Amino acid sequence: MKNLVCLGIALIMGMATTIYADRCPNAWPAEGENYASGTIDSTNYSYEVWRDGYNALLECYDNGGYKVYSKGADAIVRFGPKFDEPKTFDQHGNFAADYKLGSTYGAGTDFYLVGIQGNTTEPKTEFYIIDYWIYEDADTTVFGTRMGEFTVDGDTYDIWQNTANNYLGVQGDISYKRYFSIRRTKRDSGRIDITAHFKKWEELDLKLGKITDVMALVEGSKGKCCTSYLTIDYFNITESADSTGETTAISRRASLPLLKGDARVFDMQGRYLGTGEKKISPAVRTVKKR
């Protein structure tokens, strides 16, 4: 798989027609900047948009839909819940996601993916569950060391681990682990049993810290021309009370006392995308993606 070069993406959740102008404030990274974040009005979701290039944009619609668009730029877009008090996964209920992709278009796009991405603290880790992907050159060495495999949700996922360096925290540059579950056969809809991946990673001694967020992820390159897009009819992340309990939408968002700081942003393959404003927990003393 080639390193990320650039992508244009559009995501639409639902049959959106009218934009709520204030649902995604500051959804364009400002001129000269590569990062925008905020909360989505009338939802429990936060969003983050990174770009390395010309443009990347998030719009939100009054029916709960989204449109994410990028032109001539690398793009990383995340949206979903964050947590008031980070806890280990076994202190949560069961996480799952249901999604359905719509149409796709790519002007020579050599890379994009859709799945789940999140972060933990104590220790700092990143995790990825990738269900849908396009790789022009499937060079799996970018994922690091293959740790194993397991079958869930109707297919086998290969599990990888690597180390990301130069993560900027209050104590200076640090390194942290990144875990990947990559579905062997891509699919355009289904249910992702997120907690099943957490359990398998722990079984393989890939230790997760306390979860700060579990979010939908779209990441990709601009391709050889100007614009590409991917539509998503829906992407819902839920947490059940327990393994047998009723599943309900996650309803809490982070409200920890935080300090501001800057952190370097890397894509899934370790490519540096720039520096975005982050927030730093005084208790944990590491940079969190917000």
Tens of pLDDT, residue by residue over 20-52, are 446 777 677 887 788 888 888 777 788 888 888
User: For position 259, what pLDDT does the model report?
Assistant: 32
- Residue 199 dihedral angles phi and psi, to the nearest 5°: -65, -40
Contact of 273 with 266, CB cutoff 8 Å: yes
- pLDDT given at position 75: 82
Catalytic residues: 126, 219
First-residue to last-residue Cα distance in the chain: 28
Q: Domain map of the chain by residue range?
A: 35-239+256-288
Task: Spell out the per-residue pLDDT of the chain, length 290, in tens.
Answer: 433 333 333 333 333 333 344 677 767 788 778 888 888 877 778 888 888 878 777 777 666 667 767 777 788 889 888 988 899 999 999 999 999 887 776 655 667 788 999 999 998 899 999 999 877 665 667 788 999 999 999 999 999 999 987 665 555 567 889 999 999 999 989 999 999 999 999 999 999 999 999 999 988 776 666 676 777 778 889 988 655 444 444 433 333 333 334 455 556 555 555 555 544 333 322 223 32
pLDDT at 223: 60
**Topology adopted by domain 35-239+256-288:** Jelly Rolls (2.60.120)
Q: Which two tokens stand for residue 210?
A: 């306390």
The residue whose two tokens read 């998503």 is 232
Distance of CA 39 to the CA centre of its chain: 15
CA distance 194 to 154: 14
How do beta strands 189-193 and 95-106 pair? Answer: antiparallel
Question: Which pTM value belongs to this model?
Answer: 0.79
pLDDT value of position 261? 42
What's the per-residue H, E or C state across 164-224?
Answer: EEEEEECCEEEEEEEEEEEECCCCCEEEEEHHHHHHHHHHCCCCCCEEEEEEEEEEECECC
Residue 257: its pLDDT value, please?
A: 30
